[in-house]
Protein backbone atom coordinates (compact mmCIF):
# COMPACT_ATOMS: atom_id res chain seq x y z
CA UNK A 1 0.00 0.00 0.00
CA UNK A 2 1.55 3.32 -1.10
CA UNK A 3 0.92 6.98 -0.28
CA UNK A 4 -1.09 7.19 -3.52
CA UNK A 5 -3.50 4.41 -2.51
CA UNK A 6 -7.19 5.35 -2.63
CA UNK A 7 -9.29 3.86 0.17
CA UNK A 8 -12.97 3.46 1.06
CA UNK A 9 -14.27 4.60 4.49
CA UNK A 10 -14.44 0.94 5.58
CA UNK A 11 -10.79 0.41 4.63
CA UNK A 12 -9.87 3.58 6.53
CA UNK A 13 -11.78 2.26 9.57
CA UNK A 14 -9.85 -1.01 9.43
CA UNK A 15 -6.51 0.83 9.18
CA UNK A 16 -7.23 3.19 12.10
CA UNK A 17 -9.05 0.48 14.08
CA UNK A 18 -12.17 2.59 14.57
CA UNK A 19 -15.76 2.29 13.38
CA UNK A 20 -16.85 3.44 9.94
CA UNK A 21 -19.19 5.95 11.58
CA UNK A 22 -16.21 7.53 13.33
CA UNK A 23 -14.45 7.86 9.96
CA UNK A 24 -17.44 9.80 8.62
CA UNK A 25 -17.41 11.99 11.75
CA UNK A 26 -13.72 12.77 11.25
CA UNK A 27 -14.41 13.73 7.63
CA UNK A 28 -17.46 15.79 8.59
CA UNK A 29 -15.46 17.76 11.17
CA UNK A 30 -12.66 18.38 8.68
CA UNK A 31 -10.11 16.38 10.67
CA UNK A 32 -9.56 13.86 7.87
CA UNK A 33 -9.35 14.94 4.22
CA UNK A 34 -11.67 13.15 1.78
CA UNK A 35 -13.34 13.63 -1.58
CA UNK A 36 -16.16 12.20 -3.67
CA UNK A 37 -15.98 10.05 -6.78
CA UNK A 38 -19.58 10.18 -7.98
CA UNK A 39 -21.57 9.34 -4.85
CA UNK A 40 -18.72 7.47 -3.15
CA UNK A 41 -16.40 8.92 -0.50
CA UNK A 42 -12.71 8.20 -0.92
CA UNK A 43 -9.59 8.94 1.17
CA UNK A 44 -5.95 8.96 0.08
CA UNK A 45 -3.45 6.95 2.11
CA UNK A 46 -1.20 10.00 2.47
CA UNK A 47 -4.06 11.89 4.16
CA UNK A 48 -4.39 9.07 6.70
CA UNK A 49 -0.68 9.27 7.49
CA UNK A 50 -0.95 13.08 7.80
CA UNK A 51 -3.92 12.69 10.17
CA UNK A 52 -2.04 10.20 12.37
CA UNK A 53 1.09 12.34 12.50
CA UNK A 54 -0.97 15.45 13.25
CA UNK A 55 -2.84 13.87 16.18
CA UNK A 56 -0.03 11.71 17.57
CA UNK A 57 1.09 14.27 20.15
CA UNK A 58 -2.08 16.26 20.77
CA UNK A 59 -2.40 17.39 24.39
CA UNK A 60 -6.14 18.09 24.51
CA UNK A 61 -8.16 15.28 22.99
CA UNK A 62 -11.79 14.47 23.60
CA UNK A 63 -13.77 11.27 23.04
CA UNK A 64 -15.18 10.51 19.63
CA UNK A 65 -18.96 10.57 19.97
CA UNK A 66 -21.25 8.39 17.93
CA UNK A 67 -24.72 6.86 18.24
CA UNK A 68 -24.84 3.15 19.17
CA UNK A 69 -21.12 2.74 18.56
CA UNK A 70 -18.28 2.48 21.03
CA UNK A 71 -16.53 5.71 21.96
CA UNK A 72 -12.99 5.83 20.62
CA UNK A 73 -10.00 7.52 22.27
CA UNK A 74 -7.19 9.18 20.32
CA UNK A 75 -4.16 7.01 19.70
CA UNK A 76 -1.69 8.37 22.23
CA UNK A 77 -0.68 7.37 25.77
CA UNK A 78 -2.21 10.50 27.29
CA UNK A 79 -5.73 9.89 26.01
CA UNK A 80 -6.90 7.96 29.08
CA UNK A 81 -6.37 10.87 31.47
CA UNK A 82 -7.63 13.41 28.98
CA UNK A 83 -10.84 11.66 27.95
CA UNK A 84 -11.90 9.84 31.10
CA UNK A 85 -14.60 11.39 33.24
CA UNK A 86 -13.90 9.01 36.10
CA UNK A 87 -16.99 6.90 35.37
CA UNK A 88 -16.01 5.60 31.92
CA UNK A 89 -15.53 1.93 31.13
CA UNK A 90 -12.17 1.89 29.37
CA UNK A 91 -10.67 -0.99 27.38
CA UNK A 92 -7.00 -0.58 26.48
CA UNK A 93 -5.42 -2.11 23.39
CA UNK A 94 -4.87 -1.66 19.67
CA UNK A 95 -6.17 -4.81 17.97
CA UNK A 96 -9.37 -4.75 15.91
CA UNK A 97 -10.67 -7.59 18.09
CA UNK A 98 -11.43 -4.96 20.72
CA UNK A 99 -13.62 -2.97 18.34
CA UNK A 100 -15.69 -6.12 17.87
CA UNK A 101 -15.78 -6.78 21.62
CA UNK A 102 -16.90 -3.18 22.30
CA UNK A 103 -19.71 -3.49 19.76
CA UNK A 104 -20.92 -6.78 21.25
CA UNK A 105 -20.89 -5.18 24.70
CA UNK A 106 -23.00 -2.24 23.63
CA UNK A 107 -25.54 -4.38 21.78
CA UNK A 108 -26.39 -6.46 24.84
CA UNK A 109 -29.76 -5.80 26.56
CA UNK A 110 -27.96 -4.04 29.43
CA UNK A 111 -25.32 -2.64 27.11
CA UNK A 112 -22.01 -1.18 28.24
CA UNK A 113 -20.70 1.79 26.29
CA UNK A 114 -16.95 1.23 26.21
CA UNK A 115 -14.31 3.87 25.70
CA UNK A 116 -11.45 2.45 23.59
CA UNK A 117 -7.93 3.63 24.34
CA UNK A 118 -5.48 2.73 21.58
CA UNK A 119 -2.34 2.45 23.69
CA UNK A 120 0.30 -0.25 23.82
CA UNK A 121 0.47 -3.23 26.16
CA UNK A 122 2.78 -1.70 28.78
CA UNK A 123 0.79 1.53 29.08
CA UNK A 124 -2.46 -0.43 29.17
CA UNK A 125 -1.32 -2.53 32.14
CA UNK A 126 -0.06 0.60 33.88
CA UNK A 127 -3.47 2.25 33.37
CA UNK A 128 -5.14 -0.84 34.87
CA UNK A 129 -2.83 -0.65 37.89
CA UNK A 130 -3.54 3.07 38.33
CA UNK A 131 -7.30 2.48 38.15
CA UNK A 132 -7.58 4.57 34.98
CA UNK A 133 -8.80 1.61 32.89
CA UNK A 134 -11.08 -1.32 33.61
CA UNK A 135 -9.66 -3.83 31.10
CA UNK A 136 -6.22 -4.14 29.54
CA UNK A 137 -4.87 -6.31 26.76
CA UNK A 138 -1.27 -7.36 26.27
CA UNK A 139 1.08 -9.29 23.98
CA UNK A 140 4.42 -8.88 25.77
CA UNK A 141 7.09 -11.55 25.47
CA UNK A 142 9.48 -12.24 28.34
CA UNK A 143 12.80 -13.53 27.07
CA UNK A 144 13.84 -15.03 30.42
CA UNK A 145 10.84 -17.35 30.73
CA UNK A 146 9.76 -17.53 27.07
CA UNK A 147 6.26 -16.66 28.26
CA UNK A 148 3.76 -14.07 27.12
CA UNK A 149 2.16 -11.54 29.47
CA UNK A 150 2.04 -13.44 32.79
CA UNK A 151 5.48 -12.28 34.04
CA UNK A 152 4.60 -8.67 33.20
CA UNK A 153 1.18 -8.84 34.85
CA UNK A 154 2.79 -10.16 38.05
CA UNK A 155 5.35 -7.36 38.08
CA UNK A 156 3.14 -4.49 36.93
CA UNK A 157 0.08 -5.27 39.10
CA UNK A 158 1.80 -5.84 42.46
CA UNK A 159 -0.68 -6.74 45.17
CA UNK A 160 -3.55 -6.87 42.68
CA UNK A 161 -4.76 -10.42 41.88
CA UNK A 162 -5.70 -10.67 38.20
CA UNK A 163 -7.05 -13.21 35.73
CA UNK A 164 -5.58 -13.49 32.23
CA UNK A 165 -7.95 -14.61 29.46
CA UNK A 166 -6.74 -15.46 25.97
CA UNK A 167 -8.23 -13.44 23.14
CA UNK A 168 -6.31 -14.95 20.23
CA UNK A 169 -2.99 -16.18 18.97
CA UNK A 170 -1.09 -14.24 16.29
CA UNK A 171 2.14 -14.60 14.35
CA UNK A 172 4.84 -11.95 14.67
CA UNK A 173 7.68 -11.56 12.22
CA UNK A 174 9.60 -9.27 9.88
CA UNK A 175 8.26 -7.00 7.16
CA UNK A 176 10.80 -6.85 4.32
CA UNK A 177 10.66 -5.52 0.77
CA UNK A 178 9.27 -7.86 -1.89
CA UNK A 179 11.81 -10.52 -2.70
CA UNK A 180 13.73 -9.84 0.54
CA UNK A 181 16.67 -8.14 -1.24
CA UNK A 182 18.83 -8.07 1.92
CA UNK A 183 18.34 -11.79 2.55
CA UNK A 184 17.05 -11.26 6.10
CA UNK A 185 16.14 -14.53 7.83
CA UNK A 186 16.31 -14.20 11.62
CA UNK A 187 16.86 -11.91 14.59
CA UNK A 188 20.61 -12.49 14.21
CA UNK A 189 20.53 -10.52 10.95
CA UNK A 190 19.89 -7.37 13.01
CA UNK A 191 23.57 -7.51 13.96
CA UNK A 192 24.50 -6.69 10.36
CA UNK A 193 25.73 -3.15 9.68
CA UNK A 194 23.86 -2.96 6.37
CA UNK A 195 20.42 -3.45 7.96
CA UNK A 196 18.14 -0.55 9.01
CA UNK A 197 14.88 -0.85 10.92
CA UNK A 198 11.60 0.97 11.54
CA UNK A 199 10.67 0.72 15.22
CA UNK A 200 7.39 0.83 17.17
CA UNK A 201 6.62 3.21 20.02
CA UNK A 202 7.76 2.54 23.57
CA UNK A 203 5.30 0.41 25.51
CA UNK A 204 3.99 -1.53 22.51
CA UNK A 205 4.22 -5.31 22.53
CA UNK A 206 6.27 -5.24 19.33
CA UNK A 207 8.81 -2.82 20.84
CA UNK A 208 9.17 -5.11 23.87
CA UNK A 209 9.60 -8.15 21.60
CA UNK A 210 12.40 -6.42 19.69
CA UNK A 211 14.10 -5.14 22.83
CA UNK A 212 14.02 -8.58 24.46
CA UNK A 213 15.65 -10.20 21.43
CA UNK A 214 18.29 -7.45 21.28
CA UNK A 215 19.04 -8.01 24.97
CA UNK A 216 19.39 -11.76 24.48
CA UNK A 217 21.81 -11.13 21.59
CA UNK A 218 23.84 -8.74 23.74
CA UNK A 219 22.82 -5.68 21.73
CA UNK A 220 21.35 -2.29 22.56
CA UNK A 221 19.08 -0.16 20.41
CA UNK A 222 21.91 2.31 19.79
CA UNK A 223 23.68 -0.39 17.77
CA UNK A 224 20.72 -0.76 15.41
CA UNK A 225 20.35 1.71 12.54
CA UNK A 226 16.90 3.31 12.55
CA UNK A 227 16.04 2.21 16.11
CA UNK A 228 14.98 5.73 17.10
CA UNK A 229 12.57 6.07 14.16
CA UNK A 230 9.14 5.15 15.55
CA UNK A 231 5.69 4.52 14.08
CA UNK A 232 2.53 3.84 16.06
CA UNK A 233 0.95 0.94 14.15
CA UNK A 234 1.75 -2.26 12.28
CA UNK A 235 0.38 -0.70 9.11
CA UNK A 236 2.61 2.37 9.34
CA UNK A 237 5.69 0.17 9.87
CA UNK A 238 4.85 -2.10 6.94
CA UNK A 239 4.11 0.88 4.70
CA UNK A 240 7.45 2.49 5.62
CA UNK A 241 9.29 -0.69 4.64
CA UNK A 242 7.33 -0.81 1.37
CA UNK A 243 8.44 2.80 0.66
CA UNK A 244 12.07 1.89 1.27
CA UNK A 245 12.49 3.91 4.48
CA UNK A 246 14.08 0.87 6.14
CA UNK A 247 15.07 -2.70 5.34
CA UNK A 248 12.95 -4.36 8.02
CA UNK A 249 10.17 -3.78 10.53
CA UNK A 250 8.54 -6.02 13.13
CA UNK A 251 4.80 -6.67 13.09
CA UNK A 252 2.02 -9.20 12.77
CA UNK A 253 1.27 -11.39 9.79
CA UNK A 254 -2.24 -10.06 9.16
CA UNK A 255 -1.01 -6.53 8.41
CA UNK A 256 1.91 -7.81 6.33
CA UNK A 257 -0.52 -9.51 3.96
CA UNK A 258 -2.49 -6.26 3.52
CA UNK A 259 0.37 -4.03 2.40
CA UNK A 260 1.56 -4.05 -1.17
CA UNK A 261 5.31 -4.17 -1.63
CA UNK A 262 6.28 -6.18 1.45
CA UNK A 263 6.88 -9.83 2.27
CA UNK A 264 6.26 -11.28 5.71
CA UNK A 265 8.82 -13.55 7.41
CA UNK A 266 7.20 -15.40 10.37
CA UNK A 267 9.36 -15.62 13.50
CA UNK A 268 7.23 -16.59 16.49
CA UNK A 269 3.71 -17.18 17.73
CA UNK A 270 2.35 -14.79 20.30
CA UNK A 271 -0.59 -14.64 22.70
CA UNK A 272 -2.92 -11.66 22.78
CA UNK A 273 -4.52 -11.73 26.23
CA UNK A 274 -7.14 -9.78 28.13
CA UNK A 275 -6.45 -8.90 31.78
CA UNK A 276 -9.16 -8.31 34.41
CA UNK A 277 -8.73 -7.71 38.13
CA UNK A 278 -10.14 -10.58 40.20
CA UNK A 279 -12.19 -8.18 42.28
CA UNK A 280 -14.13 -7.20 39.16
CA UNK A 281 -15.00 -10.68 37.86
CA UNK A 282 -18.49 -10.84 39.38
CA UNK A 283 -19.53 -7.39 38.18
CA UNK A 284 -22.07 -7.38 35.30
CA UNK A 285 -19.91 -5.61 32.71
CA UNK A 286 -16.98 -7.97 33.23
CA UNK A 287 -19.23 -11.04 33.28
CA UNK A 288 -20.57 -9.84 29.94
CA UNK A 289 -17.05 -9.55 28.49
CA UNK A 290 -16.17 -13.09 29.55
CA UNK A 291 -19.43 -14.44 28.15
CA UNK A 292 -18.85 -12.62 24.83
CA UNK A 293 -15.28 -13.82 24.25
CA UNK A 294 -16.38 -17.39 24.98
CA UNK A 295 -19.37 -17.22 22.63
CA UNK A 296 -19.47 -18.91 19.25
CA UNK A 297 -20.86 -15.74 17.70
CA UNK A 298 -17.78 -13.74 18.73
CA UNK A 299 -15.39 -16.47 17.57
CA UNK A 300 -17.24 -16.84 14.26
CA UNK A 301 -16.80 -13.12 13.59
CA UNK A 302 -13.05 -13.39 14.26
CA UNK A 303 -12.83 -16.42 11.97
CA UNK A 304 -14.44 -14.32 9.25
CA UNK A 305 -11.74 -11.67 9.60
CA UNK A 306 -8.97 -14.27 9.49
CA UNK A 307 -5.40 -14.11 10.75
CA UNK A 308 -6.10 -15.27 14.31
CA UNK A 309 -5.55 -18.58 16.13
CA UNK A 310 -8.71 -19.07 18.20
CA UNK A 311 -7.81 -22.39 19.81
CA UNK A 312 -7.64 -20.84 23.32
CA UNK A 313 -9.98 -17.87 22.90
CA UNK A 314 -11.92 -17.25 26.12
CA UNK A 315 -9.82 -19.61 28.23
CA UNK A 316 -8.11 -18.59 31.46
CA UNK A 317 -4.40 -18.98 30.71
CA UNK A 318 -3.06 -17.71 34.06
CA UNK A 319 -3.97 -16.11 37.39
CA UNK A 320 -1.78 -13.89 39.53
With CA atoms as reference, report the closest residue to 171 among 306, 72, 25.
Answer: 306
E strand spans, the chain:
6-7, 35-37, 40-44, 71-72, 89-92, 114-117, 136-138, 141-142, 147-148, 162-177, 197-200, 230-231, 248-252, 262-277, 316-319
Residues 88 and 126 in one domain: yes
Q: Is 107 helix (H, G, I), strand (E, B) or coil?
A: helix
* 159 and 111 fall within a common domain: yes
- If asked whether residues 175 and 242 sit together in one domain, one would say yes
**Same domain, residue pair 20 and 80:** no
Tell whether the model's pLDDT for residue 85 goes beyond 50: no
Co-location of 153 and 289 in the same domain: yes
From 9, 40, 55, give the residue that closes a domain: 55
CATH number, domain of 157, equals: 3.40.190.10
What's the predicted TM-score (pTM) here?
A: 0.74
Contact criterion met (CB below 8 Å) for 209 and 183: no
The model's pLDDT over 6-31, given as tens digits with 9 standing for 90+, comes to 889 888 988 888 888 788 878 877 78
- pLDDT given for residue 69 in this prediction: 34
Q: Are residues 74 and 113 in the same domain?
A: yes
- The torsion angles phi and psi of 300, rounded to 5 degrees, stand at -65, -35
Instruction: Verify that 256 and 303 share a domain, yes or no.
Output: no
What CATH number corresponds to the domain at position 46?
A: 1.10.10
**Are 165 and 177 part of one and the same domain?**
no
**Short-list 240, 295, 273, 238, CA closest to 98:** 273
Do 153 and 280 lie in one domain? The reply is: yes
Question: Are 95 and 206 in the same domain?
Answer: no
What is the span of the domain harbouring residue 211?
171-269
Question: Do both 276 and 148 map to the same domain?
Answer: yes
pLDDT of residue 87: 60
Q: How many domains does the chain have?
A: 3
- Are both 47 and 114 inside the same structural domain? no
- Predicted confidence at residue 227, as pLDDT, reads 96
The percentage of residues in the chain with a pLDDT greater than 70, rounded to a whole number, is: 88
For the stretch 108-160, pLDDT in tens is 877 788 888 989 999 999 999 999 999 999 999 999 999 999 999 999 999 99
What is the tens place of the pLDDT at every residue in 52-84? Answer: 877 665 443 333 333 233 344 433 433 444 444
Nearest to 248 by CA among 177, 170, 172, 171: 177
Amino acid sequence: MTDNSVLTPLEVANILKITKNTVYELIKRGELNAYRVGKKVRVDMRDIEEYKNRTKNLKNTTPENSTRTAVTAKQNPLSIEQTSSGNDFIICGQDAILDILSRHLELRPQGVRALRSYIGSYNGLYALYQGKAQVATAHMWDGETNQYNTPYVRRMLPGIPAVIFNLAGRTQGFYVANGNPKGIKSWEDLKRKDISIINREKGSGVRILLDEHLRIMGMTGKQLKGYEQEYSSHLAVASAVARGEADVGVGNEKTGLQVKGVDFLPLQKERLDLIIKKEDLDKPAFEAIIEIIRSQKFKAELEGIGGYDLAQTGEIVAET
